[in-house]
Amino acid sequence: KEGKLINKNEETKEGKLINKNEETKEGKLININEETTESDSEYSDEEEEEEEKKTEKSIQSKEIKNIIIKQKYNIPYDLGKTGIKGPSVLKGAGIILIISLILLFCFRNNPIENLSAGKSFDVNMKKPSYRDIELAEDLVRLQEDFPIQVKASWTKFSAGIKKVAYENPNKPSVFLLMFKDDNDKNTASCLATKVAEIAVRYLTGTAKQPVVLESEILGNTAEFLEDSGKLITTYNSSVYKTGAMLVTELHQLPASIARALHFFCDRESPLVERAVYLFTLKYNVRGKNMQMTAEKTLKSLWGNSMYDNELDPLITRLTGYVLEVEHENNLVNCIF
């Protein structure tokens, strides 16, 4: 430090002494003599620490480069190594958050859900119009008058009626209300009549009465028996104006007249596109489900009068929405 030269003897691995001259920061030379052995390292502890730091920095630099590359090519990070959530994880979390907020908003702002108060059977996912809200209110009130009916029936009524309005192109909806004995026919007829009235209000915005036909009367009408086409020409205009038609006790309708129903209920080339058709039917055989029960019952009724290539398409058109009607004791809003 005083600027003088110091001599230190340094013994090499071979045991010899060598002199090393190093120039200090002040430009002066000092001799450092260090004794080395075969077990000593070639670098000092400070140099080793510096080397380790360089190595560590190199590793960190490589990790940073890997992260940049993975970000560029949207490759998920190795979470176990970096401890950082990758873009794919963050993206997924963001999507879940957005969906949750949307569902919360829809739940809090869905008037149909609020109106039904735990009895929701609305299946329309678009923003409801004022008629959608009125339809929901009407069905909720009707559900209170028919508390024994299963909830699935109200879902079908709501979906089927709205489908007529929203489907493009418009196509009719058909409801077949099944009952098992004569004690239930009044329930089925009353329920079908009320649903038809609701459908008229929804489709036309008026309080017009739906077309209501009794199969027994139709079967005793000579002109319809002679030409089923007369049924179409007689009632098609009324269906167009009101948007709904009900035929009660389909099991009493002769096959010759039933043929005309094919053209009313045809969804591919309907006589009236915006229309709801309802039928009540007493079933005499039982299938695995109500759909099969309806098909078997109709085949047993008309199978002897129609070929399969005529009967099968008719059955398909009549069994759009099949519902089983449960007996209701208090039909206060129906007159028989």
The DSSP string of 50-84 is HHHHHHHHHHHHHHHHHHHHHHHTTPPP-HHHH--
- Separation between Cα atoms, residue 235 and residue 20, nearest integer Å: 121
Residue 162 counted as domain residue = yes
Residue 116 counted as domain residue = no
Pairing status of strand 21-23 against strand 29-31: antiparallel
Long-range Cβ contact pairs of 68-71 (< 8 A, separation 24 or more): none
Residue 71 counted as domain residue = no
C-alpha closest to that of 222 among 254, 244, 260: 254
Residue 76 counted as domain residue = no
- Separation between Cα atoms, residue 275 and residue 245, nearest integer Å: 8
- Separation between Cα atoms, residue 12 and residue 9, nearest integer Å: 10
Arithmetic mean of pLDDT over the chain = 79
What are φ and ψ of residue 110, in 5° steps? -95, 105
In the chain, pLDDT over 70 holds for what percent of residues?
64
Residue 317 near residue 174, CB atoms below 8 Å: yes
Structural domains of the chain, count:
1
At 211, the amino acid letter reads: V
3-state secondary structure of 92: helix
Residue 66 counted as domain residue = no
- Separation between Cα atoms, residue 282 and residue 119, nearest integer Å: 28
Residue-wise pLDDT tens digits, 179-190: 999 999 999 999
Residue 214 counted as domain residue = yes
Q: CATH number, domain at 286?
A: 3.40.50.12190
Residue 199 has pLDDT above 60, yes or no: yes
Instruction: Kindly give the residue spans of alpha helices, DSSP state H, lying in 146-228.
Output: 151-166, 185-204, 215-219, 222-226
What local confidence, expressed as pLDDT, does residue 132 receive?
93
Residue 9 counted as domain residue = no
Does the pTM of the predicted model rise above 0.75? no
In the chain, pLDDT over 90 holds for what percent of residues?
54
- What is the arithmetic mean of pLDDT over 240-259? 97
**Enclosing domain of residue 152:** 123-324
Residue 20 counted as domain residue = no
Residue-wise pLDDT tens digits, 202-227: 999 998 999 999 999 999 999 999 99
